[in-house]
Structure 1
Amino acid sequence: MESPFKGKTGLKRIWNAFHYSLDGLRAAYKHEDAFRQEVLLAIVLLPIALFSPISGVEKALLIGSVFLVLIVELVNSAVEATVDRISLESHKLAKRAKDIGSAAVLITLLNLALVWGFVFLG
């Protein structure tokens, strides 16, 4: 069965999608420790990126790597919530899904460190 919200079009759909997105950000911040930690990291790193005497492309790389961490953490949190919704019982496929999501976050954090290292250390 499809969602009853799928039928909305135009500005109403955009307005609803915007509010659903804000709800998602609030839920992630409220319920996900890792997301809160990464938001704190973003609060520290984004001003550094914006006010550093580097090129616009370098700023974009720094800022993009920070936002990528937040994006992947949101997707990982959604996967974990979905797996937990299906069952809280231990299952090898549930563990695999959660571990893969966690690995994706780890890779984006490593990417962030590499990008920032290359930009500031050459």
Structure 2
Amino acid sequence: MLMDSRDKQVQLWKSFSYALAGIKTALWSERNMRIHFFVSLLVIGCSIFFSISKLEWLFVIVAIGGIFSLELVNTAIERVVDLVTDDYHPLAKQAKDLAAGAVFIYAIIAVLVGSTIFLPYFFRWLI
């Protein structure tokens, strides 16, 4: 049976609602996701305050979007590993550690991007 365009639209909206439910779950249940969220609000506030350039906005958006995306993937990996086994297993630990390491590396990159963008504005504002 073929789906009409209305059924496809309903499926599309359902998939969006599932994605939003995942984001909401992560924000409510994951401390690091909340930290990233509040830091991103601070960064957006600074971006508006300093009137950063369009190119700088692009870097800020990629940094924020990347860290949220990686944190969601990290959380998903942790949940799947926890679902598969309650017992300690070295490979389960490695999977969780590797995913956390990816978030950590991207967070360092995001801090470097933010420092490169905002430190000159901050020093000009002080002087």
TM-score range, shorter chain: 0.7 to 0.9
* Code of the aligned partner of 1:117: S
* Alignment match, 2:63: 65
RMSD (CA atoms): 1.5
* Alignment match, 1:86: 84
Q: How does 1:1-122 map to 2 (within 5 A)?
A: 10-121=8-119
CA distance in 2, matches of 1:41, 1:121: 16
Partner SS, residue 52 of structure 2: coil
The TM-score normalised by the length of structure 2 is 0.82
Q: Quick check: which has more Rg, 1 or 2?
A: 2
CA distance in 2, matches of 1:106, 1:16: 32
Paired positions, count: 114
Residues 68, 108 of structure 1: 8 Å contact kept: yes
* Alignment match, 1:4: none
What is the Cα deviation at residue 48 of structure 1?
Answer: 1.5
What is the Cα deviation at residue 106 of structure 1?
Answer: 0.4
Residues 50, 59 of structure 1: 8 Å contact kept: no
Partner SS, residue 116 of structure 1: helix
* Code of the aligned partner of 1:96: Q
Runs of 4 or more off by more than 6 Å in structure 1? none
* Code of the aligned partner of 2:95: A
* Code of the aligned partner of 2:60: L
Aligned-residue identity in percent: 31
CA distance in 1, matches of 2:116, 2:75: 29
What is the Cα deviation at residue 25 of structure 1?
Answer: 1.2
CA distance in 2, matches of 1:115, 1:35: 19
When structure 1 is superposed on structure 2, of 35-44 and 103-112 the one drifting more is: 35-44
* Code of the aligned partner of 1:115: V
Pair 1:29–1:121, CA change in 2 (3 A) = closer
